Chain A
Amino acid sequence: MKRGAFAGLGMVVIAAAGAVAHAEVVAIEGATVWTEPGKKLDGATVVIDGKLIAAVGVGVKVPAGARKVDGRGLVVTAGFIEAASSLGLTEIDLEDSANDGSFGGGAGDEGIHAAFRVTDGYNTSSVAIPIARTGGLTSAIAAPMGGLVSGSSAWVTLADAPGVGDVVVRAPLAMHVTLGDAALDSAKGSRGKAIERLRELFDDAAAFMARKGDYERNQTRRFAASRLDLLALGEVTARRIPLAVRAHRASDIQAALALGRELGVRVVIIGGSEAWRVAADLARAKAGVILDPVENMPWTFDRLYVRDDGAALLAAAGVAVAISTIGDAPGARSLRQHAGVAVAGGMPWDAALAAVTTTPATIYGPVAKAPVRGKLVARAAADVVVWSGDPFELSTRVVHTFIGGVEQSLENRQSALLRKYRKLPAAP
């Protein structure tokens, strides 16, 4: 990889590593396999060879020497993808020393953190990661939050690995900004000011990208952000990464779409309580929405028009919808329950499966050079989960999980606590 003065901020594509030592050939046989939403095979076999899926189908040939996993009575899907997560960033929300993904916006903080890259502080050893795996998650978009511009996210696998370099699927994945209530501190109390500030920043970033030499020679006007922030924002103006906007109110979502049009970049909405109201605009702009279907309370004046069936309405309108536990690292394992809640709220089951697999894999845009994720097809990344039943049902548990072809342990700090206290110590 080229490491010029600015190359570190450019797009980096790394196939999930760490798998090499354990790469094996595995055949999951006789299972009900959802190769992708809407495509179910009964009594099918999934062959994993190294990091990739080698074959999926009924009666596919199992290579000699393959480790066989009896899938009879079990259900196999692509690993679930958490589309807006703080896994690896927030270890303990209320402990500042264990929180590396958000900006509180203290005194003097202008809320511009574009140069912040979650990969710089990402902790693959977070105890929340193996716990998330017990919910069938195999990868996540680790997204920063807070301020007006929060920084860039990364798509990471949730494999057991020593360092972030071993798990990055793509980074930077998107530039994250916030509109609405949550941005008011950084925007001097006005929604309009937040949009104005973003326009100014992107305008300056484009000028900066075109005139880096002049900037170094002090021959440009004053820009609204620091050099590194402009450089990071320049990834958006250069249309290399999309703009992820945390917004709930319909008017803020429309403002985000307008900004996306001006910049000519893809927009992803995170939150989207009122997105259903502008579903047609979203569909036209091909902008996806990442939302949490259990969040149905009008907590803020941004979310008064929130609906129980917002996800279902968006999906029906042809908008790409990803279901997420949005920023809840300890609660990420409940993603499947949230999908089930969306189904109970009227979303078709297949659409809900898409909302945790294929859609989060594509909602931020295509990933060049990396294997497909989110579906079980030949040459796709072998992120595979074997379930005891319907993945969304509460009685179901994860039986096996593979990330990049490597079977992952389902042990974690909580199972260790259970083991320790399964029998209580004798009274002293």
Chain B
Amino acid sequence: MVVAPPAPDKAPEIDLESTWSDPEALVPQPRKVTQGARLPARAVLIRHATILTAAGKRLDDGAILLEDGRITALGADGTLAPPEGALVVDATGKFVTPGIIDAHSHIGVYPAPATAATSDGNEATDPNTAGVAAEYAYTAQDPAIARALAGGVTAALILPGSANLIGGRGVTVEMRQARRIDDVRFPGAPSVLKMACGENPKRVYGRKAGPQTRMGEYAAFRAAFQAAADYAVKWKQYRARRAEWERRRARAAMLDAEVDKKAKASGKRLPHVKPEPAPDAPGRDARLEAIAGVLSGEVLAEVHCYTVRDMAQLLAISDQFGFDIRAFHHALEAYKIRDLLAARGVAIATWSDWWGFKLEAFDGIMENAALVSEAGGRVAIHSDSSIGIQRLNQEAAKAMWAGRNAGIDISDDTALRWVTANPAWILGIDKDTGTLEPGKRADVVVWSANPLSVYARAEVVLIAGRVAYERGKGNQPSDFELGNSALGAGSAGGVK
């Protein structure tokens, strides 16, 4: 757009009552949200452990030091001294890994008990509900939270469901019970937008106003992205107009100040620069804003897709509108286009062995993760399940062994990265967590045995250096379970 340059030669119009009124000053400003205050984390030294860093290293008889919620040192046992007052954990015979991260969960938005009253994961009223957000529905008292934590999970991306083409924003949380979402929102995690293609939106809207076919789905995606692109242009134009208006206002203020000086000196009443109306701001639209955020790269695109044809359509749309897809979720046919995904840097978040529950899942194979990894793609094993999230370490092991049995060389470290470092990248928190390296958050699990064994169990889970779970103490019952479950020792049903 063309903004008219200022015209300094032209004499300013005069106005005796000069006020440059600013509508933006009238817009209510959001208050600053603060997280719940936390106690400082006590220093922890874990000794004599087999440490799997998920960053390419394995330390036998290793030690790891956690201070102020961060990893400060790793090394052979004996090389690290515990600071005064530190909790020292003897992990002889045990394994230590980064906290498990689930790139795809509906905990808190589909909490237990699963009733109509608690079913808050799919705003299935419109194929595009980009304006909604999982965090609006999240309950930090889902009984699944304690169970996931007991499985070594320290963080997860909570997503809206897949009924809609654009289902809304996800939220990355720390996996611990709390009172409110604000207490568990993962600090610094970027915003993400959940999208879904293929069978689900068709099934939900096919008998309503559509889309009824994949043709309708991808036309609707394009329309949504076009509208967001137009919206972004309008805002860009507005910002430019506004900048120009602010420049003129500043100049007028300068001129007026000189005029005022002269007026004071001469004792005459002199005219000010005539105020100009501020440009009108386009209306804000939460739906378009979320999608525009994807276009600008501020919001990560997390796309539920199973088949090659669906992933190919989304890639074409991302090319047309010039944005990146962070990850395809489920992606059971990713192995068929692993070269493309690796070349474009699009990650996948998939299961080890789910397949066949619907036609678009018919071609799932257990070697999917291994094949995509081998091709240089970034792989996460996700759960999409409040049951599966409790043993993502096992799921990674299953996918690893499926690969090895097919002659694909997958290291323990790579398999571990499938449930730690790589999901951290998908969530955009990989600079902060996902591996055991100095400087990273102390999201750490102590396992009873190698976590790639079916018999291993998480014994201690630390989130940002604080002990969030200890097996000996059992799970913390959710509010719902109190007096109403084996865990919460309800009437006549206590733990024997």
Contacts and interface: CB of A to CB of B under 8 A. Distances in A.
Interface of A: 91-95, 127-128, 277, 294-301, 304-307, 313, 329-331, 333-334, 337, 340-341, 343-344, 392-395, 397, 414, 417-418, 421-422, 424
Nearest to A313: B496
A337 B358 contact: no
15 contacts: A92-B357, A94-B199, A128-B356, A277-B493, A298-B481, A298-B485, A300-B114, A305-B485, A306-B486, A307-B487, A330-B357, A331-B353, A341-B394, A397-B401, A424-B336
Given A92-B358, A334-B353, A418-B365, A294 B387 contact: yes
Contact of B456 (A127, A344, A424): A344
A340 B490 CA distance: 29
Nearest to A336: B454
Given A330-B357, A421-B335, A394 B371 contact: no
Nearest to A395: B401
Interface in B382-402: 386-387, 390-391, 394, 397-398, 401
B366 interface: yes
B358 A94 contact: yes
Interface in B133-162: 143-144, 147
B405 interface: yes
Given A300-B113, A414-B355, A341 B454 contact: yes
Contact of B357 (A94, A395, A418): A94
Nearest to B393: A394
B335 A305 contact: no
Contact of A304 (B357, B453, B490): B490
A333 B398 CA distance: 12
A94 B394 CA distance: 27
A250 to B, nearest CB: 8
Interface string B335-376: 110110000000000000111111100111111000100000
Given A299-B112, A304-B490, A341 B358 contact: no
Contacts of B452: 394-395
A92 B356 contact: yes
User: Is chain A's binding surface mostly helix, strand, loop or mixed?
Assistant: loop
A127 B363 CA distance: 11
Interface residues of B, number: 51
A329 B367 CA distance: 19
Contact of A297 (B143, B356, B364): B143
Contacts of B394: 337, 341, 394
Contacts of A95: 358-359
A341 B362 contact: no
B490 A297 contact: no
Given A95-B359, A330-B355, A305 B486 contact: yes
B359 A341 contact: no
Contacts of B358: 92-95
Interface string B452-496: 111111000000000000000000000011001111001001001
B406 interface: yes
B489 to A, nearest CB: 10
Given A93-B356, A341-B454, A414-B366, 16 more contacts: A92-B358, A93-B357, A93-B358, A95-B359, A277-B493, A296-B147, A296-B390, A297-B387, A299-B113, A300-B113, A304-B481, A305-B493, A306-B485, A337-B454, A394-B454, A418-B365
Contacts of A421: 335-336, 371
Contact of B391 (A92, A128, A300, A341): A341
A393 B486 contact: no
A344 B457 contact: yes
A331 B364 CA distance: 12
A235 to B, nearest CB: 32
Nearest to A93: B357
Nearest to B492: A277
Contacts of A418: 365, 367, 406
Given A92-B356, A93-B357, A298-B113, A424 B338 contact: yes
The winner among B144, B452, B455 for most chain A CB atoms within 10 A is B455
Contacts of A93: 356-358
A344 B362 contact: no
A397 B367 CA distance: 14
Nearest to A298: B112
B93 to A, nearest CB: 16
A394 B143 CA distance: 27
A337 B393 CA distance: 12
B453 A393 contact: yes
A383 to B, nearest CB: 23
Contacts of A307: 486-487
A392 B387 contact: no
A298 B387 CA distance: 11
Nearest to B397: A394
Given A128-B356, A394-B452, A297 B112 contact: yes
B486 A424 contact: no
A310 to B, nearest CB: 9
Q: Which are the 6 A-B pairs with shortest beta-carbon distances?
A: A340-B454, A330-B356, A94-B358, A394-B397, A414-B365, A93-B357
A397 B405 contact: yes
B353 A329 contact: no
B454 A299 contact: no
A334 B356 CA distance: 14
Contacts of A344: 454-457
Contact of A305 (B356, B456, B457, B490): B490
A304 B480 CA distance: 10
A415 to B, nearest CB: 8
B362 A92 contact: yes
Nearest to A126: B356
B235 to A, nearest CB: 40
A296 to B, nearest CB: 6
A417 B394 CA distance: 24
Nearest to B456: A344
A307 B481 CA distance: 12
Contact of B387 (A127, A295, A337): A295
Nearest to A333: B353
A325 B338 CA distance: 31
A55 to B, nearest CB: 31
A414 B354 CA distance: 12
Nearest to B357: A93
Contacts of A424: 336, 338-339
Interface in B207-232: none
Given A277-B493, A424-B338, A331 B354 contact: yes
Given A93-B357, A94-B357, A297-B386, A343 B484 contact: no
A379 B487 CA distance: 46
Contacts of B144: 297
B153 to A, nearest CB: 15
Contacts of B386: 297
Interface string B15-49: 00000000000000000000000000000000000
B397 A395 contact: yes
Contacts of B486: 305-307
A394 B356 contact: no
A424 B357 CA distance: 26
B478 to A, nearest CB: 9
A421 B112 CA distance: 40
A334 B362 CA distance: 17
A10 to B, nearest CB: 34
B455 A343 contact: yes
A421 B486 CA distance: 48
B180 to A, nearest CB: 22
Given A277-B493, A296-B387, A329 B398 contact: no
Contacts of B453: 393-395
Nearest to B408: A422
